[in-house]
Structure 1
Amino acid sequence: MFMFFFLIWTRDLGLLECQSNALHIVEYAAPTLETITGIVCPADRPAICLPYGACCKVSEFCHSGLCESCFPLNVPEESRLEWCRHTGVTNVTSMRHHTCRLACQDVFSETLLSVCPKTHEDNKVDVVTQADSRHDHGCARISRDSCSALWTTFTVTGVLICCFATLAVVCFRRRQIMINLRNEENKSANQDVRDVISRVEQVTSALKCENRSDQFDRENIKDLVQSLHNQLTELSQVLKRWSQSRDSVTTLSAMAVLESSNISTALSKDVLLSRQKQLNGFV
């Protein structure tokens, strides 16, 4: 019985001692810089620069006992927010000292915390920064897509213009070639008709002279009649050949030349009939 109470008393004593030590640890576990150094810095300069004891702003670092700005010297105070948003986010090492990595979020208001990086070690960005990044990336992607679409449209338009221009040139040249061929055919048809007409007129003139003459040359008249018959046959063949031409203009041109000539078909027939009767009288 005595041993039982002794063990309980020993346990309680140990617990009390542990609790006492724990209270002692809690009381002296977290001494502050003010407790250690005895330096009390004002609210606008809360950072203690050890071992010099100077008080610096959060946006400053201690260098040889002097407080220097964390931001580049060419960045004025009113422009630090923009500098932090655009430069500090992407390159926090651009600050002048490694202890200044929290200067962005500490110097400005709490809204800046969503823009600037929180630590230099992990380089994490918050939701707002990610949204800004996605927005910028989206704008860049839209810009690239717009440029690509414009370039594609310009290329396709240029190719179509070149194709239409080439087709127009080919059609124009083909039309010119067809016109030149038609003109050559017209010239050839007109020349053939003129040649035959010239020979027919010569024979007709000779027959007229023989008709007026009192002396008849049988052989000469037969030759003239046969020649006239041959020339008229040739003229008929020429007209028939050109009437089968693919171009009706050529045939009309040849007929116009024939109609404008001095040939009188009726007169030629009369001469032929008259001389045929005379020839029959000599036979």
Structure 2
Amino acid sequence: MNSNGDASDSTLVATGARFKSEWTDDPLTSVKFDTTVLEGQVALITMSRPKNRNAWTEIMRNEVSRCVDKASKMSKVRVIILTGDPEGKAFCAGADLSPASPLNPNSMEGDVPTGRPANLAYWRDGGGQAALSIVRSTKPVIAAVNGAAVGVGMTLPLACDMTVAAEDAKVGFVFGKRGLTMECLSSYFLERCVGHKVAMELVLTGRVFKAKEAPSGLFNYVVPKENVLDKAIELASEICETSPMSCMLNRNMIIRHGYNTSPEEAHLLESKSIYWIARQADAKEGINSFLEKRKPKYPMDPFKDSPEWFPWWNEIATKSRL
């Protein structure tokens, strides 16, 4: 994988990440992937189409998903940060609305079963696919919104676990002003972030506003533009002090529990989880390091060492297998 994402125009046309049974290792063309931040504990994914204000394409969708999936399997990586190329002067300006082309395809190889039309039965929202890759990540994901974010640029961060935004960044949920509907799992996450009536106001008005004017819950922190990435790295550094296995299980409890989970169901799952994890190496190290007044060195890998009862929810297939 090319960590810099450099490629000539001819390479852009010829390759592009594709998904069949597994991700290919084609050079990245619209995303940069850096695993050197915080001594390799942070995977930094940068959406990089600076000439197009980092506008979203289906190629970018696949590359973001591919990098998230790769970071999920890297034992040293503890946190993923998603941001926009500063040269683009935006976090992500939404979907690229230019005519379809090899650089801006309508779909990617593997999206629809070979030989079948892209109809209602088989077509899937690309932004939603990227958001699902964040949801299934074994590592927390922080969005560092360092510039304008509308459309998918605003909905994708909703799927992230935390968001830091530039105070003057223009943001909004503008579906209605384009004659479109919600995407990228925003109908699931937006209400959870800001509440029912505020979500209704943001979506039904299509209002564009500055991040510093955002309602409570939309962002964790709103800071000057030049401090966005630093704040995200600061949060990541705090996460790195916790057990990676505890982090993975706790994150999924919050994501998977909600309006359709009863207190009794939550109690049963929490009981199973704490019974299991209290007997694992991370818990022993957490207690011993506390008693010995030293920094912990957690040995467990949330990808390789997850419990036999994980996942505990019924997984729903979103992709046609025929």
Which has the larger share of strand? 2
Please say which structure displays the higher CA radius of gyration: 1
Which has the larger share of helix? 1
Higher relative contact order, structure no. (Cα contacts within 8 Å, ≥ 6 residues apart): 2
**TM > 0.5:** no
TM-score by length of 1: 0.18
TM-score by length of 2: 0.17
